[in-house]
A and B are shown apart, each in its own frame.
Chain A
Amino acid sequence: MSGFSASALSCGRLDRCKGFPIDGVTSPRPYGAHFVNPFTDFRDSFGLKPMIALHALTASTSISEAYLPVLVMLVVAVGFAVVNLILSRVLGIRKPNDVKLEPYECGVPTIGSARTQVNVRFYLVALLFLLFDMEVIYIIAWALSVRQNAAVAGFMPFAMILMAVYMAILLVGLLYEWKKGALSWT
């Protein structure tokens, strides 16, 4: 994505570049322009338009062709690592000694066992945190949907009733864990 600041920097006029970049990429000149300015013309290289162009290219082709670049990328990534490992193995000189096994700028030698017991109450806290963390995810999705569809007839009461039911279920859960003493540390 071409960031907002990058657009603002390279735009001639600031007002054309307002808004979230995804809403519509405004560029001073379209593709196939008469000359190439390496400092401005490639700023969209990571932007929406190349993605759209890529999508338009791939949408009409089959799925396997569309994912071919991914496969090439995978092969290159794995190949790079493997080739480097083999090269260092073949070309490298190995003289092992004890000093090389000591931690150097990677911390200090450990004292005692690294396995310590964690109080079981932390698990309860983590569990409750997960529960109430997850519910926020759903509430955000709900809120976005409500904003988008507020104009649809009958949507607002429906969405509100849904959220009320959801909150009521959560409330019962909260009451339960409160009464059962899950919220008190001692």
Chain B
Amino acid sequence: MDTGIAAYVPQVAWSQIAPFVILTLGGLLILALDALLDIVVKGITARRRDGVLTWVTAGTMVVSGMLFYGNTIGTSGRPFFEGALRADEFGNLGALIVLFGALVFVAMSPRLIRDRKLPAGEMYALLLFAVGGMTLLTVANELVTAFVCIEILSLALYVLTGIDRRNPRSGEAAFKYFILGAFASAFLVLGIAFIYGATGTTQLFGTGRLMQQMQVSESRIGARQLISDKQSYDLGLDEILFAGERPIRTATYETEQEGRAIVTKTSVETKTQPLNPIWLFLGFVLVLAGLCFKLSLAPFHMWAPDVYEGAPTIVTMLIATASKVAAFAFLIHFVEALSFWEHFPSASLFLLSSVAAVSIAWGNLGALTQTRMKRMLAYSSIAHGGYILVGVATLVSASVFSDPESHERIRNAILFYLFGYTLMNVLAFGIAAYLGKEGEGEIAAYRGLSARRPVLAGGMALAMISLLGLGIPGTIGFWGKYFVIKEAVSSGMTFLAGVAFIGSALSAYYYLRVVVAMYMLPAEKDEPAAGATMQPNTGYVFTLGLSGALIFFFGILPALFWALGG
């Protein structure tokens, strides 16, 4: 049957998708090397093989990151790859932050692999696939593509969570993460279906042809006239939502008698139909719910403490930093596309604000009573997700039309926050993993650390003060919170700013408790001598030092961050 859609060979923008292709090929190469290395090189030791795998993984990421940086410089912000991807500056820099978190993971993993006898090949292959999914998610311009990316990164992270097979808590964490994650994916895909049903497209931003034509008449009525002769799948969500109407293609069939045979004739015409706001809103709510799970935001955060505690610490670091940055980048692109709908702020602001406020309240209140380090950091990460969502709510309130300049500023503030958040968590989780059993368990075990290991204690104190943010300037966490709250206040979201402020003040108790334990309390007598089994590798020490230095550097000169973006 003639569907009226002619097949054609898609144009592939190789330079644009090269970073993702390299990540995926790297993952496959790791799998092949893991299987075949001891056939190719006779008598290779396990340690040498793991070393080769580590270097290949790191090299893949560095090359991919360089290509990303190249793309960031000359980004056009136009969709490519049949509209499935769209690399704006925000997405590309988000991908760079993801790659940074993943590189830190690679630098820290040799010790974990050696100590717990983990399969290096599986770990690095899964890591590369996860990072491929995350980086694609930061530039995804299409809801189904985004869903696939989220699945790729989630499935890899489930397995990474449970990769420490000898530790039953790791398996428990993986199981909880998997069951709840699969549930959240169902929300996400149902929301995508509703949005498609309401608008007829899954693409976030169109090619912009319609918007260019609308330069003549920048009004919704003008958009409606232009939209009537298009197809839904040619248009992005932004264009359809801006017009407030969607094109509907109706096919009419007529049967005629030609000679002795009956011939069916098809005639197609395109009309427009007003959008159904209820389905659209329902789709938005469901997609938001799915993303909230991935971001461990308030009503969907239940998995976070158990998973953060059960997973190997550097995997926890990856979940807390890279996957969150990727999901936030997608959430922001999604919300930006929906902002073209004139009723979107009034429909969504209450929801976004309440999720942000509840996340901040719940995260901070939950962290107050925690006695274990990783659980405390899990609740702290819920609260930080809330702070970033304050930025997202502010972004919605300052629409792209009414105030493009402050829109850009808010985006930059969120990106800066995400970068700072990644650095702080890398440092905190890195030091906790460095200390081994002592650092990953009770906070009480940190007592007297400043005497035993002054440098590590200093680094942990820096991470805690930076996570605390407001109160002590000179760290990147301070400026991240300052920018986000400042934008919220100047956009009139004073209530949310107040909630963020109070939450931040509350968090002083549990962040500074760690500092107090390290510097002011004596070590418990029966504490085992720390560092007896420690064999840190150079990369580990280097990344910890680098994160600490960057926290200081951007804490003093935050404006330099924008110089990186070109």
Footprint of B on A, CB under 8 Å?
A: 16, 22, 24-27, 30-31, 49, 52-53, 55-56, 59-60, 145, 148-149, 152-155, 158, 168-169, 172-173, 175-176, 178-180
Interface of chain B: mostly helix, strand, loop or mixed: mixed
Distance in Å: Cβ of A68 to nearest Cβ of chain B? 17
User: What are 5 inter-chain pairs, A to B, with CB distance below 8 A?
Assistant: A22-B1, A30-B255, A55-B251, A155-B8, A175-B36
**Contact between chains at B254 and A155 (CB < 8 Å):** no
The secondary-structure label for the interface of chain A is helix
List B245-304 residues whose CB lies under 8 Å from chain A: 250-255, 257, 260-264
B443 is an interface residue with CB less than 8 A from chain A: no
Candidates B1, B28, B35, B262; contact of A27 at CB < 8 Å: B262
A59 and B264 contacting across the interface, CB-CB below 8 Å: no
A176: B residues at CB distance < 8 A: 31-32, 34-35
A59 touches B36 (CB 8 A): no
Q: How far is the CA of A133 from the CA of B1 in the complex (A)?
A: 28
Q: Which residues of B contact A155 (CB under 8 A)?
A: 7-9
Interface size class of B (residues with CB under 8 A): 20 to 34
Q: How far is the CA of A153 from the CA of B1 in the complex (A)?
A: 21
Q: Given A24-B264, A149-B7, A152-B9, do A56 and B253 touch, yes or no (CB 8 Å)? A: yes
Asked if B6 is at the interface (CB within 8 A of a chain A CB), the reply is yes
For the complex of A and B, list the 8 residue pairs with the smallest distance between their C-beta atoms, beginning with the closest: A179-B35, A149-B7, A154-B9, A52-B253, A158-B9, A176-B35, A176-B31, A59-B250
Residues of A within 8 A of B257 (CB): 30
Tell me which residues across on chain B come within 8 A of A24, comparing CB atoms: 261-264
Contact status A172-B28, CB under 8 Å: yes
User: How many angstroms between the C-alpha atoms of A145 and B3 in the bound complex?
Assistant: 13
Given the complex of chains A and B, what is the CA–CA distance between A16 and B254 in angstroms?
A: 21
The closest CB in chain B to the CB of A28 belongs to B260
Task: Report the Cα distance A130→B36, complex, angstroms.
Answer: 25
For B254, what are the chain A residues with a Cβ–Cβ distance below 8 Å? 56
Complex contacts, A149 vs chain B, CB 8 Å: 7
A12 to chain B, nearest CB (A): 10
Q: Within 8 Å CB of A154, what residues of B?
A: 9
Q: Known A158-B9, A172-B28, A176-B35; judge A59-B255 contact (CB<8 A).
A: no
B9/A172 in contact, CB under 8 A: no
- In angstroms, Cα B36 to Cα A104, docked, is 59
Complex-state Cα separation, A16 to B259, whole angstroms: 13
